[in-house]
Structure 1
Amino acid sequence: MKQLLIEDHTADYVFISIVLRSGSLVDPGGAEGMAYLAANTLLLGTREMPRAVFLDELDYLGASLDVSVGKESVILEGEVISRNLDPFIKLLGDVIKFPALSVDEIEKLKRRTVAELEQIRDNDEALCAVFHGRHMWGNHPYGRPGKGTSATIGAIEHGSIASFLTAHVRDSNLIVAAAGHIEPAQLNDLVTRYLAGIPGEATTIPVLSTPTPAKGVRVFLVDKPERTQTQIMWGHPCIHAGHADYFPLMTANTAFGGTFTARLMREIREKRGWSYGATSRVGVDRQTGSFTMGYAPATKDAVAAIRLGHQLLETFVFEGPSAEELEFSKSYLTNAFPFRIETAAKRLGQMLETELLARPSNFVETYVQNVEAVTLEKAAEAVSRHIQPANITLTVVCTASDIEPELRSWDKVCELHVVPYDQM
């Protein structure tokens, strides 16, 4: 069980994260959402402490506790005043080792999860993200819905959640990370006393390859009635966190669509007023990543905005960023970075992310140096190698009949599909 620590004795509180190196990628086939449900059962109490009593105990300690689920990790994170750290860690240890797994509480959790999934239909931005992830990744494991679907959540049984936790809550699979008013010996003592006895080896996360982007411009219209505004997302699979081109590509993308004054925002928002926001992102994980860009024009401007977005991307890939754009991007990134590590909790977050993404241990210390080392040539080469406007997926939440005919006549499109919005 690995331990990470950021000491900060200027404040009388401690942030704690217990990390499981297993996320939604290890969901069994047909049981998407298993990791999500299993992780959230850790907020439902212990064998000796039902949910209501468990929540009362958290309140008594003045502590907070939440859980997040990613593709490759589950993070149980909380905060407590330092004098209550001992009982708080004991509580976390009991939750990890002896979760309540109440049938009634799990059924309530499943119903809440299904309700949350169904609510996505009313949020066009979230709806677009769900469909875009599915279509961009295709059959790749990253295309599976991390939170599951109404059908898969409904089919997951109590016993399978217990089996999932037994398989993945393993000593070698855990990280305990702390920041604040705590010393190394104290953390080690708490881990030894309250997290000892967890079995050793865990099921490993499958090794994945970055998929090759599908050929051509593929369009998926998520058909929803009476839309006066659209949600547009472009994207394709891209580099992983440890790739040698990470800094050149990330810095170049910041110039294209990573700030409020970037090229994409200027053209879509400032010059034409088509969308309040227009952004692009290079998102990375340990094994793969993606390039995405998005904006939300009115239906009457959607096709023009789609054509312009693609044209801007083609030009950016062909020419790369300008010298002025790159210098602004580097200045923005280096000047903003101190705010990402200004507190002990933020520094711990960076340390934990470095560990989970298998980045070099000095990633944070050398971040500014690596950004400053990006040249115009390196940025242009990275963009040319990894951004592919000719092989990209476009997802649009819209009323399909409003824009389908015009999009079908666009010579860039190699295939176009209309998908009902309620078939999530």
Structure 2
Amino acid sequence: MDKSARVFESVLACFALISWLSASQATAANSPAGFPDTRLQSLLETDSTQQAPRPFTIKGWKTTTGIKTLFIHTTDLPMFDVHVSFAGGSAHDGDTPGLAAVTFSLFNEGVADMSDHAAIAEVFDGLGAKLGMDLDQERATFTLRSLSDPDKSSRALQLFTQMLGQPALTEEALLRVKRELRGLQLAEQQQPAEIASLRLLDLLAADTPYARSIYGTDAGLTSLTRQAVQTFHSQTHSASQTQITLVGDLSVEQAQAISLQIANALPAPLVALPTVEPLKAFGTEMHRHVERTQEQVHVLLGQPSLSRQHEDFVALYAATLIFGRGANSRLMTELRQKRGLVYDASIRNKDWAGSGLTSITLQTSPQFANETVALVKSMLSKFRREGPTQEELAYFKRRLANANIVGSASNAQILGRLAEINRHHLPLDLDFFAQQVQRLTLEQIRTAMDKHLPDDQWRVVTVGPTVPQVPLPQPAIVPTVEPSGHSCRADAGFVAS
């Protein structure tokens, strides 16, 4: 999931630990007689899955115009982050592919007293502020990071809210943005990963907005008018379509004032935003090949899965990560360590079409493409029937418990977590997901895989040259190493002094 339930891992502590141990080696050689002959180990005796609740309190409210707002107060740094999300993704393009992307791209292309992107960027840079923008099929997102000092933040917030509520949307900027998006369309058509992704979406949801590039089509861009952009802005960026998330060095009163400032700047909708219905049926074509001259074949397998709110989401998420995320996953062990077929392979869960999409991506030599796909399907089928082992689940729980802390250490990370809670209307607790993971059982995971990722629903896209196929190399014997759950472990030659 490009944004949901991400796994964070850090090795910085390991480097510091090993460096310290190296320096201590000579001292250890002169240990007193009778000194215990031990080696430093990770804290295996410690139950790292049991962690005390963190002192983050989520405050929530709605503005007078109905905007849902969530806020966490932190004081580590004299700054704050604002995240504003609108229901303005490309799925709302309707009959004009590219409408969402054009509107989105125009926000930082000028306001009433600033004519272009450079002028806006100069103001933010001068205030030490940082603007962020992101667009997907569901939503358009804008972020602002600013110093808490009112002399800096007041001007940054003024410009930020002006961009959101009153972008200039000029004809000149419209032409410029259309040219840029056409360039992005051309670049997308040259990237194997992007080609495969779009073909997969077309297999699943042909002739719907969910199968299109977020950049639209050349015909769609050509037909776009300034009036259409203005109407779309009013429909999708009104208060009724908005979520606000704040994290940082602000009081509750200051955070409420910021949310109200943003809400008051947004346009009143001229007409209601048309509803985009979730897909109820998916395409029946199961495989598509795109011929392309390149050294490797890009392979993408995918099928619809679950929304973040579904009761089985956490179990399915755990199942997919145990199967295919990380160097020691089943997928990488078989494809890389045993057979040398890939450099990397991974599984991903993301929001899509009102629910979710699970996909597996890898690259391999053209002569092994068909057999590699067959092997991955066979592995998935076996995993679906049997589920993970108790050791795999225990390792996953330890890894997620630690990553839960590491992955929410900074304001930006906390903001990402809180925005996900806001977007999916989850319980107001940063640790809720991690707690759900710790309660998972083997049977819940196996059942989720069996119910929601059937063997016969994997669509496959391959991008690359067509060559004669050969059998896969026989798997090598890889020594079995029990997962420790910890990435820091001293080499046998090092001992603590």
TM-score (norm 2): 0.76
Deviation at 1:188, TM superposition (A): 2.5
The structure 2 residue matched to 1:330, chosen from 366, 389, 397, is 397
On the 8 A contact 2:295/2:366 being kept in 1, the answer is yes
Deviation at 1:139, TM superposition (A): 4.1
Residue correspondence of structure 1 range 13-412 to structure 2 within 5 A: 13-29=79-95, 31-51=96-116, 52-83=118-149, 84-193=152-261, 195-196=263-264, 198-200=266-268, 203-204=272-273, 206=275, 208-212=277-281, 214-215=283-284, 218-224=286-292, 226-284=293-351, 287-362=354-429, 364-399=430-465, 401-402=466-467
On the 8 A contact 1:234/1:294 being kept in 2, the answer is yes
Q: Which ranges of structure 1 fall in alignment gaps of 5 or more residues?
A: 408-424
Distance in 2 (CA, whole Å) between partners of 1:119 and 1:47 is 32
- Taking only aligned residues, the RMSD between alpha carbons, in angstroms, comes to 2.3
On the 8 A contact 2:388/2:442 being kept in 1, the answer is yes
Distance in 1 (CA, whole Å) between partners of 2:431 and 2:379 is 34
On the 8 A contact 1:241/1:286 being kept in 2, the answer is no
Distance in 2 (CA, whole Å) between partners of 1:329 and 1:296 is 26
On the 8 A contact 1:279/1:293 being kept in 2, the answer is yes
Distance in 1 (CA, whole Å) between partners of 2:127 and 2:175 is 28
Q: Secondary structure at the match of 1:196?
A: helix
Alignment size in residue pairs: 401
Deviation at 1:406, TM superposition (A): 9.1
On the 8 A contact 1:14/1:85 being kept in 2, the answer is no
On the 8 A contact 1:90/1:194 being kept in 2, the answer is no
On the 8 A contact 2:198/2:212 being kept in 1, the answer is no
Deviation at 1:194, TM superposition (A): 5.9
> What residue identity is the alignment partner of 1:203?
A
Deviation at 1:236, TM superposition (A): 0.9
Q: Which residue of 2 aligns with 1:419?
A: none
Q: Secondary structure at the match of 2:358?
A: strand
Distance in 2 (CA, whole Å) between partners of 1:74 and 1:149 is 19
Q: Secondary structure at the match of 1:231?
A: strand
TM-score (norm 1): 0.88
Deviation at 1:314, TM superposition (A): 1.4
Distance in 2 (CA, whole Å) between partners of 1:105 and 1:395 is 37
Deviation at 1:158, TM superposition (A): 2.0
On the 8 A contact 2:397/2:438 being kept in 1, the answer is yes
Higher Cα radius of gyration: 2
On the 8 A contact 1:25/1:141 being kept in 2, the answer is yes
Deviation at 1:305, TM superposition (A): 0.9
Q: Deviations over 1:317-364 (max 9, x none)?
A: 1222222222222222222121221122221221111111233334x3
- CA, structure 1 residues 119+339, in 2 after alignment: closer, same or farther (shift >3 Å)? same
On the 8 A contact 1:239/1:246 being kept in 2, the answer is yes
- CA, structure 1 residues 325+205, in 2 after alignment: closer, same or farther (shift >3 Å)? farther
> What residue identity is the alignment partner of 1:265?
M
On the 8 A contact 1:264/1:278 being kept in 2, the answer is yes
On the 8 A contact 1:58/1:64 being kept in 2, the answer is yes
Distance in 1 (CA, whole Å) between partners of 2:272 and 2:423 is 16
Q: Secondary structure at the match of 2:240?
A: helix
Which aligned segments of 4 or more residues in structure 1 are displaced greater than 4 angstroms? Answer: 199-202, 212-215
Percent identity among equivalent residues? 21
> What residue identity is the alignment partner of 1:40?
S
Distance in 2 (CA, whole Å) between partners of 1:284 and 1:72 is 8
Q: Deviations over 1:288-315 (max 9, x none)?
A: 1012112100112212211111111111
- CA, structure 1 residues 209+366, in 2 after alignment: closer, same or farther (shift >3 Å)? same
